[in-house]
Structure 1
Amino acid sequence: MVGSTAFATLFLCTVSMRAEERSGITSPKEALGFNIGDDYHVANYTQLEAYWKQLAAESDRMKLISIGNTSEGRPQYMAIISSPENLKNLDRYRAISQKLSLAKDLSDAEAHELAKEGKAVVWIDGGLHASETVGSQQIMELVYELNSRTDDETLRFLRDEIILCVAANPDGQELVANWYMREPVPEKRKADGYGMGVPRLWNKYAGHDNNRDFFMSNLAETTNINKQLFRVWYPQIMYNHHQTGPAGTVIFVPPFRDPFNYHFDPLVPIGIQAVGTAIHMRFLEEGKPGSTMRSGATYSTWYNGGLRTVTYFHNQIGILTEIIGSPTPWQLPLVAAKQLPNSDLPAPVKPQLWHYRQSIDYEMTANRAILDYASRNREKLLYDIYQMGHNSIERGEQDTWTVSPQRVAAIETAAEAERKAQAPKPAADGPNANAGVSPKLYDTVLHDPTRRDPRVYVLPANQPDFPTATKFVNTLLKNGITVLQATSDFTVDSKSYPAGSYVVKTDQAFRPHILDMFEPQDHPNDFRYPGGPPIPPYDVTGYTLAMQMGVKYDRFYSAVDGPFQVIVTELASPLPGKISGEKGKVVGYLVSHEYNDAVILTNRLLKAGCEVSWLEKPAAGLSAGAIWVPATVKSRTILSSAVQQLGINAIAMGKTPDGPSLKLKTVRIGLIEQYGGLMPSGWTRWLLEQYEFPFDVVYPQTLDAGHLRDRFDVLILADGAIQKQQREDTLLRPDTQPKPEEIPVEFRPWLGRITEKTTLPQLQQFAESGGTILTIGSSTTLAELLHLPVHNALTELRQGKEEALPREKFYIPGSLLRAQVDTMTPLGYGMPSSTDVFFDHSPSFRLAPDAEQRHVRAVSWYQGTNLLESGWAWGQQYLDGTAAIVEASVGKGRVILFGPEIAFRGQPHGTFKFLFNGILAGTAEPSSTDSVEKKPHRREGKRT
């Protein structure tokens, strides 16, 4: 147990250790005015940057580089640390790491020789989640120790390794540290809970979700990090620091619990277990109890989007730890159950007053355990990453099968059918003789030739929204995937593809990532016991990116060759679009509504004062909702530029299309936010910026002041903006807010909560006077508050009371489901009739019998009992016949209910149009593009 005596011993060891430091190396105390880990002190990023620059100037062990700028424009620094001799040959060692990781055109013998010559590359970061301040501080201490210490172990690390130390979230570190340190009296500084009490998200757009972006790479910081991990340095081990540790323990360290993802190499989970075990052992050797593993927390290796998890799909050993700690001392609680040792918590820790420096010391132990492992296993790590890459290449060149729960269930079904069809047989002799099923099912069912893994994916250039397919390809490129592009037309299995089509072959080292982005995830049913509650996953369970983005692609199960060239640029550019059609007098242009980027063109035209309409009937081979742009000098210039830049096609028309239309107008958008930041709102802000929508961020005090129609046409309430609570008058999360006098004046207008008593009447008046309210996820509870004829479909009667379905009956923790869409209504323009939607504990709706009379209708709905496309869906039959998206007239305006997460983390491009259509339809007016008498247009759209 660590008590005051043990802590004093640790302090003396620290003092003794620093007696071995090099002269001429500035200490943190000299640079910052305090030691790293001093209570009530946190260094901001400005201080980190200055200190690292000073160390780089003083030490011959360190090279400092910027890996790119952050979302707020700061340089993001990485310290490259090794021996002076290694730094002189840095390019050579980087090239070795790259060759071994990619494993291309290498023999085993050549790989062994390179592994002998190379240096282990180890990535250690800190501060990704800025409110978890131990991470951002420990990386500063580590860089100092590696530059200053002269003990034999440190010198061995420097000799055998190249260590990459990265500040993972500079913007957040600056915000959180400055906020905490604003109180001049140290003892009055408060950590203020999970978010450190900051007034806004500590990543400009994503907050905590910055660790959910790594397969997508939307954020600047993610893109910077992915480049170093998968296109520059290819580390064999990466260590991602987090907090906080599970209650009653000090730190969570791998191994992780099941399930692990079925796509990555089996050497990955074994490597994680080996490194994690080394960390636990070092804690025990140093008398640092309280480390837990596996069942000690919910972390698994299933999800691809985290910083440490994305590395698994690139054959790297990704380590996550979660430690307790705060700059303000706090009491480590006594959790009785955590005082009984077990295999996942071998050494319980004594409850005590916990100091910041104790956390830093634990982190240094973990860092040094990893560096020690990498040093002692340098050659093995280098060869193993080659071996995994080589395995992936081989698997992509031959028939292979990924075994998943569905395939195992198929064996069991086939075995049961076989047993019923055969006469009973006498028991066989030998151990376990009757333990299994017929071995032939291994080949006929588990390795069914029709269920083998694809070897090649082709994304045709003539699909409806090829620019979005290009954005998908760019996520692959950012993750180090080799992508080919056709230089001319080609044919595969009698199907023709045009020049410009993308080709992704799986015979490459990062094959697991490719499969994970194209193929459905099949998460097992994971329950505490049969019939019991589900075990929550680490994150979402179904996220297949190609499906989320609505990309069209074909699978091929044998080699495909053709006129292909490797995309060598960092990002692919969409093929320039074309303007076809009329060559003579042109009166206007038609653009398909199926392009997501057509909304960028629309916003540019509206900003310039050009006329834009949506045609209500199909025209010129385009589906309903086609975008009509009358020809003017200004509109021609904007459209011609967009066609080239965005890769969208247009049709020049010599005659104005007949029929009714909706004339668009510039929309005044209010995006609702809250003090402390709301991540779904932050992502929506990111999305609106990407697609060039003008908008204002709106806080509850502005809503409560009323007169909203004077300022806005559309209000957006993202998921979480409204969450109905079982308590009076508060609709938002029940977390507390600071008192106005406790925060700077500039942030006081951000305070407040949406309430039923004050805010709801203003929202209702806004809609009744002609405004449009777009609600997503939990915010759709606004329908109930406005007494719309819409009811929660996911309930049941229990003892005469309507209650939510229990998790034992219905549980979908983030998966892709199939939904139907009415494509003839403005909300559905440009959408396919059936689409994948992201469902994450989402609401679903049933319409009351009088819904049609009250102009309330379903725009998208679930049909059938087998809706799951990717992930885990327990009880999905409850969704059959329910509505996913509902449009309701309220007075002169509308309220739209988006049950699914149509903009989740900036990923589901396939459903972005629902949001875009809802915004632009907010000010659209019925019109006509011909001389036919105008028809009245019902804002709620046509009923199918």
Structure 2
Amino acid sequence: MQKPYRIGTAFLLIGLIAASIVNAQTNGSLPTPESVLGFRIGAEKKLADYNQMIDYLRKLDAASDRMQLESLGKTTEGNDFMMAIVSSPANLRQIDEWRKIQARLADPRALSETEAAKLLARGKAVVLINCSIHASEVGAAQMSLELAHHLASGNSAAVQQILDNVITLLVPAHNPDGQLMIVDWYRKNLNTTYEKSPMPWLYQKYVGHDNNRDWFMFTQAETRITVEKIHNIYHPHITVDMHQMGQNGARLFVPPYIDPIEPNVDPILVGLLNTLGTHVQATLTAQGKSGVVSNAIFDAWTPARAYPHYHGGLRFLTEAASADYATSVEIPEERLRGDAHYDARRSSWNFPKPWPGGKWTLRDIVDYDFAAAMAILEHAGRNREFWLKSILQVQQNAVNWNEKPAAYVIPASQRDPEGLQALLEIMRLGMVEVYRATEDFIADGAPFRQGDWIIPIKQPYGRFAKALLENQRYPALRAGDGALRQPYDATAHTLPLFLGVETFAVNAMPKLPNAPAKLPLEFSGAVSGSSSIFALDPANTASYRALNLLVKNNFAVFWAQNPIRDNNQEFPAGTILVEGKGQESKLKEIARQSGTDLQGLQTKPTGAMYRLQAPAVGLYKSWVANMDEGWTRWVLEQYDFAYTTLTDADIRGGDLHEKFDVIILPDQAARNIERGNDPDKMPAEYANGLGEIGIHQLRAFVDAGGTLVALDAATELPIRNFWIQVRDVTEGLPAQKFNAPGSALRVLAETRHPLAYGARREEAIFFNNSPAFRLDEGKGILTYPRANLLLSGWLEGEEQLVGQHALVEVPVGAGRVILFGFRPQFRAQVRATYRFLFNALFYAAAKNIHDPF
């Protein structure tokens, strides 16, 4: 009996050896990054650009049955947004089945224990690795090629376990446009004085670094692709978000995050983050990689950076210390600095092995990123069922929600329909179920109407809705000096305040017939009534889009300076009036394009008005790359404002009043505007700022009748240089006395002033330790009330703001300066305050007129 067994075993061994030889040959024949690029990944002063990266991944895809490379859509500037799916050949052939399992586990309503057990036994762990969303943080994108090759070619037991148990979704560069820009900039300056210089424009067309603050507004193409084509389809358990940070601290950050954690993040996810982060730190430390820190620097407060935390997954942040692009840096130990949570030169529980200082290279970054990615993938591969079970429990907690509130009710009738439309679109993209009442109803004793919107919290992604619909109360975590520990980003993310939408939290879910809402909500726009004069509601933000279309089509358009009455209906000051006799068909087209209603008036309005025309807008663009400038461009384009970009040289060239009605200085430190980039560190065409000549030309522009609009920090420039009688009362105040880090504050509006047309008496503004103005001349349009200023976020030192102004108009020569002590267009999140900026632009070109009809 032994002989046949031995013969069988011998044949089996021969077969296995032959198979392994064939397998080794096959994998050995796969192209390596170095064979395609001509250099090793991470080599000194060598970077692959996005086109080279995708060329390599296409070659690897063609040669390997472990990978599928897909284009998910087009980026902002028309490049392909690529994702590689890496797993075993058998898994890739059944990718649709794994997606279905993920979708079923993500929504466990009506999921029986038997079915759940079957899905858990069969499903795969899903890990998304998102590289270099910030394009200047070059390491992760370069590393992605080595990671793809390793998974496609590796024959180790660990790799095979990953391939069998994990679906790896690899986004080699979340920001292809910026990656191309950065590599091009670096190559042009290689081996020059400017080799290490920052690129003097944004590395994403509109938002630059803020592309990682777009995870609940979904404004940018790359965000929407990632959400709609990856998160909402594959439901990854772990999203690895690979970044870089400063040079002089730890070599790599991994979770746990520091407090505070946003309260709507499920505690299980917090535990999973802590578990996985500790594993990664231990793994890298065991490999001899020093300088790995956890529980430092980064918090998990805002959803603007963490879509997965509200969608059944982890956002696992890694932050590697930076080199100078692909140029190595020398960092002596004495330059190393930590923060309040660790000492970069001393071992501690969350920083067990300090880095001793020395040379730090792009290759080091690649090695650390690769090791972290593999540690995560190996954990997911070894613990496949643990990850599926844990995330299933998170989703079961969501669908079994029994706390308060039970739901939010949003009345269908809103002052600003466009704000409602935006809020509901965010819910749709975030996979939140929204319902519409089919009859009138009572909730918590309050009456609501048929057609009102209902968002129950008891649903798979109800926590996402709750986080964005409730007011935030940032916890008072104090540093040793008694000051608030500064949050990593904003403290408020309250959509009803940001969008000007009235919502109601109710503690009992309305029991009534309702139907799933048909979204996206679209307003077709209409022209009602037969008349020669039509009115547009200034409370509707979409009216500004219509207004721009009207003036571009040469309609006579006016602002009513006082309330007007027509057929027992009162229209507020700021109502937009259009002379449209014989132009009904064109008006209907504009109403359709803008989504705005135009109402015919029965009587001709009389009294004081402003004649409106398309303002000639100049938008200042510093060569110190400025995200607020990019957001301003994006917002203006969404509402069809024409504008001209003005550089330092353009402004210094003068004749501004001949060309422009209004010039905008976006939020930026006055020092950066005045001085710009250091000429020793930047090519001459991008060095220096406005200088004395540019400031003089801005003053001459205003003296001649122009309007200068300065936002937030930029207000310091005209205050200091134009000798206007305005003082920023927050200047010089220590954080212990005044602190409002990204909060929503209450202001009172002078609604009869053109800058506040369309506003309510009480409005909310986004305030990020911004200026507040005391006036000895000029007019305050938005003023802080006597008490209860904080609506959402954090405010310390409320008394410093009481009675001061957030928006002022100051006459200067024949023109005016308009100072915003906040950002009315902040990250395109605060649509309710767009009107203040838009009004300033039209006001700049408006002409007083009486009885025009």
Q: 1:498 and 1:644, CA in 2 relative to 1: closer, same or farther beyond 3 A?
A: farther
Q: Is the 8 A contact 2:555 2:580 kept in 1?
A: no
3-state DSSP of counterpart to 2:650: helix
CA distance in structure 2 between the partners assigned to 1:487 and 1:141 by the alignment: 56
**Residue 884 of structure 1: which of 806, 821, 827 is its match?**
806
3-state DSSP of counterpart to 2:133: coil
- The reply to whether residue 172 of structure 1 matches residue 178 of structure 2 is yes
Q: State the Cα distance separating 1:696 from its structure 2 match.
A: 0.7
Q: State the Cα distance separating 1:121 from its structure 2 match.
A: 0.5
CA distance in structure 2 between the partners assigned to 1:774 and 1:230 by the alignment: 40
Which residue in 2 is equivalent to 1:792?
728
Q: 1:191 and 1:266, CA in 2 relative to 1: closer, same or farther beyond 3 A?
A: farther
Alignment of 1:115-154 (within 5 A): 115-154=120-159
Which residue in 1 is equivalent to 2:166?
161
| Paired residue type of 2:715 | T
User: TM-score, normalised to structure 2's length?
Assistant: 0.92
**Residue 602 of structure 2: which of 633, 654, 670 is its match?**
654
3-state DSSP of counterpart to 1:241: strand
| Paired residue type of 2:719 | A
Alignment of 1:199-278 (within 5 A): 199-244=200-245, 247-278=248-279
Q: Is the 8 A contact 1:205 1:679 kept in 2?
A: yes
Q: Is the 8 A contact 1:455 1:507 kept in 2?
A: yes
Q: 1:46 and 1:833, CA in 2 relative to 1: closer, same or farther beyond 3 A?
A: same
**Residue 28 of structure 1: which of 30, 33, 38 is its match?**
33
- The reply to whether residue 770 of structure 1 matches residue 735 of structure 2 is no
**Residue 364 of structure 2: which of 354, 358, 367 is its match?**
358
Q: State the Cα distance separating 1:925 from its structure 2 match.
A: 0.5
1:744-793 Cα deviation digits (max 9, x unpaired): xxxx3x544022x2122211111111111111001111123211111121
Which residue in 2 is equivalent to 1:591?
536
3-state DSSP of counterpart to 1:708: coil
Q: Is the 8 A contact 1:467 1:646 kept in 2?
A: no
3-state DSSP of counterpart to 2:27: coil
Q: Is the 8 A contact 2:705 2:815 kept in 1?
A: yes
Q: 1:791 and 1:556, CA in 2 relative to 1: closer, same or farther beyond 3 A?
A: same
CA distance in structure 1 between the partners assigned to 2:599 and 2:759 by the alignment: 20
**Residue 417 of structure 2: which of 445, 466, 470 is its match?**
466
Q: 1:713 and 1:40, CA in 2 relative to 1: closer, same or farther beyond 3 A?
A: same
Q: Is the 8 A contact 1:827 1:918 kept in 2?
A: yes
Which residue in 2 is equivalent to 1:333?
332
RMSD of aligned alpha carbons:
2.2
Give % identity: 31
Q: Is the 8 A contact 1:39 1:328 kept in 2?
A: yes
Alignment of 1:563-712 (within 5 A): 563-567=513-517, 572-580=520-528, 582-583=529-530, 586-619=531-564, 620-634=569-583, 636-712=584-660
Q: Is the 8 A contact 2:498 2:832 kept in 1?
A: yes
Which residue in 2 is equivalent to 1:936?
none
Which residue in 1 is equivalent to 2:766?
838
Which residue in 1 is equivalent to 2:819?
897
Q: 1:667 and 1:874, CA in 2 relative to 1: closer, same or farther beyond 3 A?
A: same
CA distance in structure 1 between the partners assigned to 2:277 and 2:683 by the alignment: 45
| Paired residue type of 1:380 | F
Q: 1:96 and 1:768, CA in 2 relative to 1: closer, same or farther beyond 3 A?
A: same
1:41-83 Cα deviation digits (max 9, x unpaired): 1111111222222222111111111222111111101111110
- The reply to whether residue 192 of structure 1 matches residue 142 of structure 2 is no
1:566-603 Cα deviation digits (max 9, x unpaired): 2465xx132334433x44xx111111100111001010
Which has the larger displacement, 498-507 or 459-468? 498-507
Q: State the Cα distance separating 1:94 from its structure 2 match.
A: 0.7
| Paired residue type of 1:465 | D
Which residue in 2 is equivalent to 1:758?
693
Which residue in 2 is equivalent to 1:373?
379
**Residue 310 of structure 1: which of 307, 310, 330 is its match?**
307
- The reply to whether residue 926 of structure 1 matches residue 848 of structure 2 is yes
CA distance in structure 1 between the partners assigned to 2:184 and 2:607 by the alignment: 59
| Paired residue type of 1:69 | K
CA distance in structure 2 between the partners assigned to 1:736 and 1:349 by the alignment: 34
1:678-732 Cα deviation digits (max 9, x unpaired): 1100000000000000001100111111110111111000100x5248xxxx735
Which has the larger displacement, 770-779 or 468-477? 468-477
| Paired residue type of 2:310 | F
Which residue in 1 is equivalent to 2:499?
549
**Residue 74 of structure 2: which of 48, 69, 76 is its match?**
69
| Paired residue type of 1:192 | K
Q: State the Cα distance separating 1:190 from its structure 2 match.
A: 6.0
- The reply to whether residue 82 of structure 1 matches residue 87 of structure 2 is yes
- The reply to whether residue 344 of structure 1 matches residue 350 of structure 2 is yes
- The reply to whether residue 523 of structure 1 matches residue 474 of structure 2 is yes
Q: Is the 8 A contact 2:108 2:392 kept in 1?
A: yes
CA distance in structure 2 between the partners assigned to 1:38 and 1:918 by the alignment: 52
Q: State the Cα distance separating 1:646 from its structure 2 match.
A: 3.9
Q: Is the 8 A contact 1:780 1:897 kept in 2?
A: yes
**Residue 775 of structure 2: which of 847, 850, 875 is its match?**
847
Which residue in 1 is equivalent to 2:12?
none
CA distance in structure 1 between the partners assigned to 2:270 and 2:283 by the alignment: 20
| Paired residue type of 1:25 | L
CA distance in structure 2 between the partners assigned to 1:102 and 1:700 by the alignment: 54
Q: Gaps spanning 5+ residues in structure 2: where?
A: 1-22, 337-342
Alignment of 1:489-568 (within 5 A): 492=443, 497=448, 500-529=451-480, 531-567=481-517
Q: State the Cα distance separating 1:488 from its structure 2 match.
A: 6.5
Which residue in 2 is equivalent to 1:420?
none
3-state DSSP of counterpart to 1:663: strand
CA distance in structure 1 between the partners assigned to 2:678 and 2:429 by the alignment: 37
Which has the larger displacement, 494-503 or 82-91? 494-503
CA distance in structure 1 between the partners assigned to 2:587 and 2:391 by the alignment: 49
CA distance in structure 1 between the partners assigned to 2:225 and 2:195 by the alignment: 29
Which residue in 1 is equivalent to 2:107?
102
Q: State the Cα distance separating 1:382 from its structure 2 match.
A: 1.1
Q: Is the 8 A contact 1:615 1:625 kept in 2?
A: yes
**Residue 40 of structure 1: which of 31, 35, 45 is its match?**
45
**Residue 670 of structure 2: which of 680, 703, 723 is its match?**
723
3-state DSSP of counterpart to 1:138: helix
| Paired residue type of 1:244 | M
Q: Is the 8 A contact 2:128 2:168 kept in 1?
A: yes
Q: 1:866 and 1:266, CA in 2 relative to 1: closer, same or farther beyond 3 A?
A: same
Which residue in 2 is equivalent to 1:779?
714
- The reply to whether residue 824 of structure 1 matches residue 752 of structure 2 is yes
| Paired residue type of 1:606 | V
| Paired residue type of 1:763 | L
| Paired residue type of 2:269 | V
3-state DSSP of counterpart to 1:522: coil
Q: State the Cα distance separating 1:538 from its structure 2 match.
A: 1.1
Which residue in 2 is equivalent to 1:10?
none
3-state DSSP of counterpart to 2:375: helix
Q: State the Cα distance separating 1:25 from its structure 2 match.
A: 1.4
3-state DSSP of counterpart to 2:222: helix
| Paired residue type of 1:133 | V
Q: State the Cα distance separating 1:332 from its structure 2 match.
A: 3.1
User: TM-score, normalised to structure 1's length?
Assistant: 0.83
CA distance in structure 2 between the partners assigned to 1:77 and 1:455 by the alignment: 40
CA distance in structure 2 between the partners assigned to 1:644 and 1:505 by the alignment: 32
1:323-347 Cα deviation digits (max 9, x unpaired): 1243111113314753321101101
3-state DSSP of counterpart to 1:182: helix
CA distance in structure 1 between the partners assigned to 2:595 and 2:71 by the alignment: 32
1:479-521 Cα deviation digits (max 9, x unpaired): 2222224567666567665565432111112222111101111
